[in-house]
């Protein structure tokens, strides 16, 4: 196993040819994805067709009535996408099963998100009602954006938050209405050429949330986006940029689902966070993709002096997830944190981790990762911690724990920690455990079925992390884990 | 209503070596309201007996039967046996990291309820706290992970707490006294005595007589080499304590000679 050579590429261990036996066609387990597994027939007003070429990009940019610089940005990114090889020299060969010619890159019913649910077309409104979004919004959210395939169908921020000067828009609106705020950081935290999929996203991005929180404003309730894939053979490429100005604080949550199609679907987002001096951003993801979704997401934050960025990331579902949220600790005393939970069930590969790039004195970072592999599921942790020689007083603590449920479950850990200099403190702990037969018997002896016992053991394993999620999400998470564990035994 | 747990000519072996019996033809009938103590030296199959009755996957029952109110339980899963009224107080209770006692017991209580029936959380906590008070367990315990980092005595008290909450018909108590100091022993014994005054049948497995000073058995059985070789009332325990297990062995040798 070799450590990665370049920092901006995903951490690269050995060329791993073990994964993705092409003779096995995505052996989808009989898990209950029922919550998200439904579609309504939707008529699309805007459709870029299948496959990708310059015309598709011009079409997307055209219907969005974008400024020239954005079209240029897209076309350059498309070239980068074509030039970049698939990262299969370190990542799974399953990536080769993505057929870029079959994907539909842009599908939208309208261009402007509605500000009230009443205005949202019925079929789309029904979808989000079934997912409980309007209800959550009423209960505990400061603002919601609901994206349906390529565009937001609904976007609204509560008055009280808007009055504080908080901007919460989709990427198209934000770049058009507030270029002075967003252009400065757009594509700066994650450059187009960071990896093949960040380039693809830069070429065809649509939707996502652009948020600006003015200096000193602390948004009390979370802002939420919900990403819904409805169409078959579709690629969703949302783009999110959150800027917390000096001393500002914001929590953002995203949820994702898609129905179970027989063909594969691609979700490839780029999420950039900028926390200016003393600002705090907390970014929470609970994804529950259907088991045929390729989920290839690039997420990174830039933390300035005394700023704090925390990623809380929960990956359930999908066929393959590759995601390594990172923080570049650019200012003194900046703090970065990644807390992640991954559950890989039969036919799924959760390849997740974290990157902490220390670039100033006295910066500190924390990575806590827990993964669960069920059946033939595979969980991989990849991490990069980088502390260069010229810095002083940096700290990192990494902890990754894996839980294997069945004897054929698999977990791999590839931590790459590069620390130079002699004033830093770095700690790494890793563990692999199994749910013991005795523990299951003990619980069964108290009257729980084997499946209930397994669920409880798994929930216990992630319990300390789940508690960091907002209440509504932790309840949801527990329920999702219960569903995933059904049928995992016997 | 009284119930019966009947063990008939039971033979038990390890699942990994089914040819080698550990329990070799054991007969015993326990009725609710009765306390049976099984005593005997190490390695005679006492713990094996209790685990096999509860359905531990490491053991196989090669012949014989276990009947609960006349119905064989051998085809039942361990959790079905538990819900049917069988409780095993473990000699070495498992730790369940991240699962609090309150949540664990709640799941176990819920598992006994009919489908669609909702647990009344207020009533549940009220009952839990009452049982904890009875066993002199600090209420802070409810939020601790099951058995994780518990002392030997805490683990045993936690077993009795679970028993008190789940109200079994028959309790198999596997060396519940081991690892307890005298104060803890008294508390545990008081707990068991309170429970058995209801309709509980107890099979008490122990090495030592001292537990039997506090939980007075109706019957004492001596187990040796996989069988019950001697039965009597509580005086048998005292006799054993005075004479030691060698007495049983010589007795046995004399009887078979």
Chain A residues touching B58 at Cβ < 8 A: 437
Position A487 scores a pLDDT of 65
Instruction: Tell me the pLDDT of chain B averaged across its residues.
Output: 91
Give me the pLDDT at residue A34, please: 55
Per CB-CB distance under 8 Å, the chain A contacts of B166 are 446-447
pLDDT at A35: 58
Q: List strand residue ranges (DSSP E) for chain B, in order.
A: 4-14, 17-31, 35-39, 59-68, 71-72, 86-89, 96-100, 145-146, 170-174, 201-206, 219-224, 227-232
Residue ranges of chain A with per-residue pLDDT less than 70:
1-36, 487-490
Interface of A with B (CB under 8 A): 436-439, 441-450, 452-453, 456-457, 459-464
Higher pLDDT, A394 or B121: A394
CA gap A189, A328 in Å, rounded: 9
d(CA A387, CA A365): 11
Searching chain A, which residue's CA lies closest to the CA of residue B86? A445
pLDDT score, position B198: 67
Q: Are B119 and B165 in contact (CB under 8 A)?
A: no
Q: Which two tokens stand for residue B189?
A: 């014994």
Report how far residue A376's alpha carbon sits from residue A410's, in angstroms, rounded to the nearest whole number.
7
Architecture of domain B4-92+167-256: 3-Layer(aba) Sandwich (3.40)
Distance from CA of A415 to the nearest CA of B (A): 25
Beta carbons of A147 and A106 less than 8 angstroms apart: no
Of the partner residues B87, B94, B103, the one whose CB lies closest to the CB of residue A439? B94
Q: What is the pLDDT of residues A222-277, one digit of tens each?
A: 898 888 888 888 899 999 999 999 999 999 998 877 777 777 889 999 999 999 99
User: CA A145 to CA B255: how far, in whole Å?
Assistant: 86
Integer CA distances (angstroms), B182 to A309, B147, B177, B185, B214, in order: 54, 21, 9, 5, 10
Q: Tokens in use for A34?
A: 């029922």
User: Which structure tokens are listed for B191?
Assistant: 């707990």
The CA distance from B230 to B221, in Å, is: 6
Q: Give the number of other Cβ atoms within 10 Å of residue A475's Cβ.
A: 12
CB-nearest partner of B96 from A447, A457, A464: A457
Q: Which of A438, A445, A464 sits opposite B88 (nearest CB)?
A: A445
- Buried b / exposed e across B101-131, counting CB within 10 Å, b at 16+? bbbbbbbbbebeeeeeeeeeeeebeeebeeb
**Min Cα separation A412/chain B (Å):** 22
ipTM value: 0.96
Q: Do A460 and B99 make contact, defined as CB atoms within 8 angstroms?
A: yes
Chain A's closest residue to B88, CA to CA, is A445
Higher pLDDT, B238 or A322: A322
Beta strand segments in A7-108, E: 46-47, 107-108
Instruction: Please state, in angstroms and rounded to a whole number, the distance separating the CA atoms of residues B3 and B68.
Output: 8
pLDDT of residue A263: 76
Sequence spans of domains, chain B: 4-92+167-256
- With CA atoms as reference, report the closest residue to A325 among A316, A315, A317, A235: A315
pLDDT at B177: 85
- DSSP E strands: which ranges in A276-420? 280-289, 293-303, 308-317, 320-323, 326-329, 335-344, 349-358, 364-373, 378-387, 395-404, 410-419
Distance from CA of A474 to the nearest CA of B (A): 14
Of B82, B90, B103, the CB nearest to A447: B82
Share of chain B above pLDDT 70, in %: 98
The angle at the Cα of B11, spanning B233 to A490, to the nearest 5 degrees, equals: 120
The minimum CA-CA distance between A444 and chain B, rounded to whole Å, is: 4
* pLDDT at A193 (0 to 100): 96
Q: Give A372-429 pLDDT, tens digit per residue.
A: 999 899 999 999 999 999 999 999 999 999 999 888 899 999 999 999 999 999 999 9
For residue A265, what are the β-bridge partners? A293
Q: Best residue in A438, A444, A449 to probe B by mutation, most B CBs within 10 Å?
A: A444
A447/B111 touch (CB, cutoff 8 Å), yes or no: yes
Select the residue of B93, B96, B98 nearest A464 (Cβ to Cβ). Answer: B98
B113 vs A contacts (CB less than 8 Å): none
Helix axes A450-466, A437-445, angle to 10 degrees: 110
Residues 6 or more apart whose CB falls under 8 angstroms from that of A292 comprise A26, A28, A260, A261, A262, A263, A264, A265, A319
Of the two residues B251 and B61, the one the predictor is more confident about is B61
> How close does chain B come to A457, measured CA to CA in Å?
7
- Contacts B111 to A, Cβ<8 Å: 446-449, 452
Residues of A in contact with B104 (CB under 8 A): 443, 446, 456
Min Cα separation B245/chain A (Å): 31
B54 vs A445: CB contact, 8 Å cut-off? yes
Residues of B in contact with A450 (CB under 8 A): 77, 79
CA-based nearest distance B86→chain A, Å: 8
Task: For residue A232, count other CB atoms closer than 10 A to its CB.
Answer: 16
Integer Rg of chain A from CA: 21
pLDDT in tens, B131-189: 999 888 889 889 999 999 998 888 999 999 999 999 999 999 999 888 788 888 888 88
Q: Which residues lie closer than 8 Å to A182 by C-beta, 6 or more apart? A: A174, A175, A210, A212, A241, A243
With a pLDDT cut of 90, the percent of chain B lying above it is 65
Predicted confidence at residue A159, as pLDDT, reads 83
Q: Collect all residues of chain A within an 8 Å Cβ-Cβ radius of residue B57.
A: 437, 441
CB proximity list for A85: less than 8 A, separation 6 or greater: A196
Question: What residue in B sits closest to A440 (Cα-Cα)?
Answer: B94
Tokens representing A172?
């198209």
Q: Do A438 and B79 touch (CB under 8 A)?
A: no
Per-residue confidence at B20, pLDDT binned at 50, 70, 90?
very high
Q: Give the span between the Cα atoms of A261 and A233, in whole angstroms.
A: 8
| Cα gap A437→A315, rounded to integer Å | 26
Q: For residue A449, what is the nearest residue in chain B, using CA coordinates?
A: B79
Whether the Cβ atoms of residue A36 and residue A288 lie closer than 8 Å to each other:
yes
């Amino acid at each position: 196993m070799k450590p990665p050579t370049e920092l901006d590429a995903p951490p690269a261990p050995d060329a791993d040819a073990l994964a993705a036996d092409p003779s096995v066609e995505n052996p989808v387990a009989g898990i209950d994805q029922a919550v998200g597994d439904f579609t309504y027939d939707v008529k699309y007003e805007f459709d870029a067709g299948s496959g990708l070429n310059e015309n598709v990009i011009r079409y997307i940019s055209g219907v969005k009535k974008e400024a020239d610089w954005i079209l240029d940005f897209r076309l350059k990114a498309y070239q980068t996408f074509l030039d970049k090889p698939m990262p299969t020299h370190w990542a799974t060969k399953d990536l080769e099963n993505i057929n870029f010619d079959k994907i539909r890159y842009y599908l939208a019913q309208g261009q402007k998100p509605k500000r009230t649910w009443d205005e949202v077309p019925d079929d789309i409104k029904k979808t989000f009602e079934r997912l409980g979004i309007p209800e959550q919004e009423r209960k505990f959210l400061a603002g919601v954006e609901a994206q349906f395939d390529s565009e937001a169908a609904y976007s609204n921020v509560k008055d009280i938050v808007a009055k504080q000067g908080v901007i919460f828009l989709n990427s198209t609106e934000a770049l058009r209405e507030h270029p002075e705020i967003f252009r400065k950081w757009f594509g700066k935290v994650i450059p187009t050429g960071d990896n093949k999929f960040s380039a693809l996203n830069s070429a065809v991005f649509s939707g996502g949330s652009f948020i600006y929180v003015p200096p000193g404003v602390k948004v009390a309730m979370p802002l939420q986006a919900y990403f819904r894939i409805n169409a078959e053979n579709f690629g969703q490429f949302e783009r999110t940029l959150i800027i917390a100005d000096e001393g500002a604080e914001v929590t953002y949550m995203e949820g994702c689902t898609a129905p179970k199609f027989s063909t594969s679907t691609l979700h490839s987002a780029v999420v950039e966070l900028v926390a200016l001096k003393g600002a705090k951003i907390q970014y929470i993801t609970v994804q529950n993709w259907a088991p045929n979704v390729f989920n290839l997401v690039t997420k990174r934050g830039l933390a300035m002096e005394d700023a704090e960025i925390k990623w809380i990331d929960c990956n359930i579902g999908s066929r393959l997830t590759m995601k390594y949220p990172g923080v570049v600790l650019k200012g003194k005393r900046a703090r970065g944190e990644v807390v992640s939970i991954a559950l890989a069930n039969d036919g799924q590969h959760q390849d997740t981790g974290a990157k902490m790039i220390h670039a100033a004195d006295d910066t500190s970072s924390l990575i806590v990762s827990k993964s669960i592999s069920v059946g033939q599921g595979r969980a991989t942790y990849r991490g990069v911690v980088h502390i260069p020689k010229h810095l002083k007083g940096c700290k990192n603590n990494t902890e990754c724990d894996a839980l294997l449920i069945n004897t054929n479950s698999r977990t791999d850990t590839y931590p790459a920690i590069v620390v130079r200099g002699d004033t830093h403190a770095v700690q790494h702990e890793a563990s692999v455990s199994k749910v013991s037969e005795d523990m299951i018997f003990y619980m069964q002896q108290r009257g729980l079925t084997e499946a209930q016992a397994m669920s409880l053991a798994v929930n216990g394993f992630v319990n300390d992390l789940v508690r960091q999620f907002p209440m509504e999400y932790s309840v949801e998470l527990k329920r999702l884990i219960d569903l995933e564990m059904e049928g995992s035994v016997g | 209503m009284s119930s019966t747990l009947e063990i008939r000519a039971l033979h038990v072996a390890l699942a990994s070596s089914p040819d080698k019996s550990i329990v070799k033809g054991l007969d015993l009938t326990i009725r609710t309201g009765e306390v049976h103590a099984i005593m005997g030296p190490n390695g005679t199959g006492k713990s094996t007996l209790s685990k096999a009755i509860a359905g531990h996957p490491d053991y196989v029952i090669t012949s014989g039967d276990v009947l609960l109110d006349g119905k064989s339980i051998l085809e039942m899963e361990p959790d079905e046996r538990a819900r049917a009224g069988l409780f095993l107080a473990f000699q070495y209770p498992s730790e369940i990291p991240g699962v609090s006692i309150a949540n664990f017991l709640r799941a176990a209580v819920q598992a006994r309820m009919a489908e669609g029936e909702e647990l009344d959380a207020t009533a549940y906590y009220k009952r839990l706290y009452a049982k904890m008070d009875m066993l002199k367990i600090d209420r802070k315990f409810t939020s601790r992970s099951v058995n994780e980092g518990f002392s030997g005595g805490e683990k045993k008290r936690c077993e009795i707490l679970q028993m008190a909450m789940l109200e079994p018909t028959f309790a198999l108590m596997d060396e519940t006294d081991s690892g307890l100091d005298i104060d803890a022993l008294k508390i545990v014994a008081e707990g068991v005595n309170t429970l058995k005054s209801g309709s509980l049948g107890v099979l008490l497995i122990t090495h030592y007589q001292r537990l039997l000073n506090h939980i007075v058995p109706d019957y004492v059985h001596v187990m040796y080499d996989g069988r019950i070789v001697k039965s009597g009332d509580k005086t048998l325990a005292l006799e054993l304590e005075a004479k030691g297990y060698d007495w049983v062995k010589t007795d046995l040798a004399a009887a078979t000679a």
